Amino acid sequence: MVQGQSPTASRFSTRQKIAEHRKSLPIASVEKRLIEEVNNNDILIIVGETGSGKTTQLPQFLFSAGFCREGKMVGITQPRRIAAVTVAKRVAQECDVPLGQRVGYSIRFDDSTSSSTRLKYMTDGLLLREALLDPLLSRYSVIIVDEAHDRTVHTDVLLALLKMIQRARSKPVNERSEIGNASGENGVQRNGVLRGCQGRKVSPLKLIIMSASLDARVFSEYFGGAKAVHVQGRQFPVDIFYTAHPESDYVDAALVTIFQIHLEEKPGDILVFLTGQDEIESVERLVLERLKHLSEDKRKLQPLAIFSALPSEQQMRAFAPAENGFRKVILATNIAETSITIPGIRYVIDPGFVKARTYDPKKGMESLDVVPASKAQTLQRSGRAGREGPGKCFRLYPESEFAKLEDSTKPEIKRCNLSNVILQLKALGIDDIVGFDFIDKPSRGAIVKALAELRLLGALTDDGKLDDPVGYQMSRLPLDPVYSRALIRANQFNCLEEMLITVAMLSVESIFYDPREKREEARTSRNHFASIEGDHLTYLSVYRELDEFLEKKKSAGGANKIDKSMKKWCINNFVNNRSLKHARDTYRQIREHVEQMGFNVSSCGNDLLEFRRCLAASFFLKAAQRQLDGTYRALESGEVVHIHPTSVLFRAKPECVIFDELMQTSKKYIKNLTRIDPLWLPELAPHYYKAEE
């Protein structure tokens, strides 16, 4: 008989290990005190070093202390999807329960909760959406806003909303009328109406704000001098190294550093901070490529990607210990700064950049740019190397550059297009946006611009009220207002199926896979999908072809091998398998939403002219016209822009296009384009284009 541990014994030892791990965390020694503080304070701010156990432990403490009695839940919000998922999985494991039962998560397009869920991890954006359905968030006894230092636009809005909800819930039942007055007509059940708060018995709400940074003052002041407690962390010294000169290509510099560490330094995993999926996937490939040139005994390096759009089973791989003798190199976005802690890291490589949203309300231009990280972010990054022992951090820029970094990142609400948020606030019955109690007020210009945009999209009436039904319908869709509007339009144009696919494809990064070493081959393969009408139609044909291929496979009886077939098809066609999976999921979810709204998903088949007209009618605010010198002028802002080289229209340069995204790198680029007839604009968006004449 084979000798070995029985499954029961192995489970027992895992449980014991987890129990020991939990006990060893800095937060464990202050459990009693924290619960006392929560009992004594309706609002509590908890500040603690990353990795001290705030996110995984506090909800469990609250559960044990009885905060989930009578079916109540503790809700924990995260700015990032991936953090909500990984932490929920970890906590379920710690509690030794199946995920989705007592411990669950809910993020946009992915819900793993049930009626028995008591500890619910979710994105801050998702909780905002829940407030549309349950204005007092009455199922929660405690809400923990985690990673508040991140100051995402959703966190900021959520803080303001929770402040109102808490006040409403602490009032006697018959005095609750403070929030919510938008009510739909026609007797239709409306989302986001803060109705029904009167006369209903809802117990008070506890609020906990958690943050990794040391500056709790801003939150404390915002909540009227709320109490802040600090949880001491454990941090080992980290040696910081800088480069002698600026690096012209930080991706290449990161690669060189990875191999230097791998070949010269003691064991310990490496964490590299990159800016996005494309960059991560390219470094992942390059690491594997370069490993082939090393001798067998030096090849024990395992690259692992971690970014939000990564399917969750792949995300979890980063947490598992490396195979025997292997060194892991985790390629992550800034998600690994504070949201998630991966054990085993001793070396950090920090090129010093981050992808950030910027917005210019005057020009109505939002863009996602790679910019230098702030000092606060840089410090958090190096800190990741000193969690379990002394570590090293390699900053890929000269020391003199460090002093020039901004102290901290500007709150997102001050640098993003506000139309999405304002639409949600309007749907919650909050009409006075300028007077709304934001922790940091967005500029008046940005608010005015967003209101104007929502009016042009038909979400708001001329006097700034939520339009019935378009505004309500738009606020129900968990999408950017332009996309929501496009779906509603598509319903009228009988091309909802095509628009659903398009919106799903536009919601994912990097549809095509473009390996450096096979550029030509990839390009030829892409030509096969390319539509002379532009990128939207090209994506549509990728999606449809894959769909047809999978249908055939299914009918040939290979349903259980679908995943494999899909992967193979994607590799053969130079399409990004991860992104396509994500797009297919997204499609299914949005389709469910529109069907629930009573829309009938019809297709225009091959009449793509109608679909292009629908694109023009939907994206009329993002139209650009070719100028004599071959550049384009964005019609709304008047900016000079260029077609991005990845667009299928890069060479064709049609006279007039609509675009999805404007991005500033070395130039101002427009991405994801469709050729349109310029006469369609005044025809299909007369309220905008006729008024201009």
Binding site for ligand ADP (CB under 6 A): 25, 48, 50-57, 86, 90, 319, 341, 343
* CB-based contact 235:385 (threshold 8 Å): no
β-partners of residue 301 are 327
Residues 6+ apart with CB under 8 A from 555: none
The site that binds Mg ion (CB under 5 A) totals a number of residues, namely 2
- How near is the Cβ of 49 to ligand ADP at its closest, in Å? 7
Return the number of the residue (49 or 453) whose C-beta is nearest ligand ADP.
49
DSSP state of 647: S
Rounded to the nearest angstrom, the gap between the alpha carbon of residue 255 and the centroid of all alpha carbons in its chain is 26
What are the distances in angstroms from CA 344 to CA 267, 277, 319, 328, 532?
10, 23, 9, 9, 50
Question: Which is nearer to Mg ion, 54 or 526 (by Cβ)?
Answer: 54
Q: Are 282 and 435 in contact (CB under 8 A)?
A: no
Q: Indicate the residue among 57 and 308 with the shorter CB distance to ligand ADP.
A: 57
Residue 386 CB, shortest distance to Mg ion, in Å, is: 17
Q: Which residue's CB is nearer to ligand ADP, number 319 or number 529?
A: 319
Q: Which helix (H) or strand (E) holds 252?
A: helix 250-264
CB of 12 to ligand ADP, least distance (A): 19
The answer to whether 344 and 268 are in contact (CB under 8 A) is yes
Residue whose CB is less far from ligand ADP, 50 or 424: 50
Query: Cα 365 to chain center, whole Å?
Result: 20
- Residue range at the interface with Mg ion (CB under 5 A); choices 53-61, 257-265, 317-325, 326-334: 53-61
- Given ligand ADP, Mg ion, none, residue 637, with its beta carbon under 5 to 8 Å by kind, binds none
Please say whether the beta carbons of 85 and 91 come within 8 A. Answer: no
**Binding range to Mg ion, per CB under 5 A, among 19-27, 50-58, 190-198, 316-324:** 50-58
Phi-psi region of 347 (alpha: psi -120 to 50; beta: other; left: phi over 0): beta
State in angstroms the smallest separation of the CB of 54 from Mg ion: 5
Smallest distance, ligand ADP to C-beta of residue 57, A = 6
Measured from the CB atom, the residue of 90 and 118 that comes closer to ligand ADP is: 90
CB 75 within 8 A of CB 143: yes
Q: How far apart are CA 280 and CA 301, in angstroms?
A: 16
Q: Which pair of structure tokens corresponds to residue 603?
A: 């297709």
Of 569, 572, 577, 516, the C-alpha closest to 282 is 516
86 forms part of the interface with Mg ion (CB under 5 A): no
Residue placing its CB nearer to ligand ADP in the complex, 240 or 316:
316
Measured in whole angstroms, the distance separating CA 285 from the mean position of its chain's CA atoms is 24
Question: Which residues are CB-contacts of 217 (< 8 A; sequence separation ≥ 6)?
Answer: none
Find which of Mg ion, ligand ADP, none residue 343 binds, CB within 5 to 8 Å per kind. Answer: ligand ADP
- Going by C-alpha positions, the residue among 160, 199, 158, 192 that lies closest to residue 176 is 199
- Burial class of 423 by CB neighbour count within 10 A (0 to 12, 13 to 18, 19+): buried
Span interacting with Mg ion, options 46-54, 112-120, 272-280, 613-621, rule CB under 5 A: 46-54
Segment contacting Mg ion (CB under 5 A): 15-23, 47-55, 61-69, 632-640? 47-55
Size (the chain), residues: 693
Instruction: Name the minimum Å distance from CB 19 to Mg ion.
Output: 20
Amino acid at residue number 136? L
Name which of ligand ADP, Mg ion, none residue 123 binds, using a CB cut-off of 5 to 8 Å depending on partner kind: none
Residue closer to ligand ADP by CB (options 314, 524) is 314
Nearer to Mg ion, 55 or 577 (CB): 55
Q: Among ligand ADP, Mg ion, none, what does residue 56 contact (CB within 5–8 Å per kind)?
A: ligand ADP
Residue 86 contact partner, candidates Mg ion, ligand ADP, none, CB within 5 to 8 A by sort of partner: ligand ADP
**Minimal distance in Å, beta carbon 78 to Mg ion?**
8
Per CB under 5 A, does 52 bind Mg ion?
A: no
CB of 354 to Mg ion, least distance (A): 19
- Find out whether 366 and 481 touch, Cβ atoms under 8 Å: no
Which are the contacts of 277, defined by CB distance < 8 A and separation ≥ 6? Answer: 307, 309, 310, 509, 510, 579
48 binds, among ligand ADP, Mg ion, none (CB under 5 to 8 A by kind): ligand ADP
Cα 187 from Cα 167, distance rounded (Å): 29
- Shortest CB 643 distance to ligand ADP, Å: 43
The secondary structure of residue 108, as a DSSP letter, is T
550: Cβ–Cβ under 8 A, 6 or more apart, which residues? 562, 565, 566, 569
**Considering the complex, what minimum distance in angstroms separates the CB of residue 15 from ligand ADP?**
14
Nearer of residues 55 and 308 to Mg ion, judged by Cβ: 55
- Binding site partner of 491, from ligand ADP, Mg ion, none, Cβ cut-off 5-8 A by kind: none
User: Residue 28 or residue 251: which is nearer to ligand ADP going by CB?
Assistant: 28
Question: Which one of Mg ion, ligand ADP, none interacts with residue 25, CB within 5 to 8 A by kind?
Answer: ligand ADP
Regarding 55 and contact with Mg ion (CB under 5 A), the answer is yes
Q: What are phi and psi of 383, to 5 degrees?
A: -55, -30
Q: Evaluate whether 446 touches 361 at the Cβ level (below 8 Å).
A: yes
Binding segment for Mg ion (CB under 5 A), chosen from 8-16, 51-59, 407-415, 544-552, is 51-59
Strand runs labelled E in 342-497:
345-350, 353-360, 365-372, 391-395
Shortest Å, Cβ 337 to Mg ion = 11
Nearer to ligand ADP, 32 or 564 (CB): 32
The CB-of-50 to ligand ADP minimum distance in angstroms stands at 4
Residues near Mg ion, by CB under 5 A: 54-55
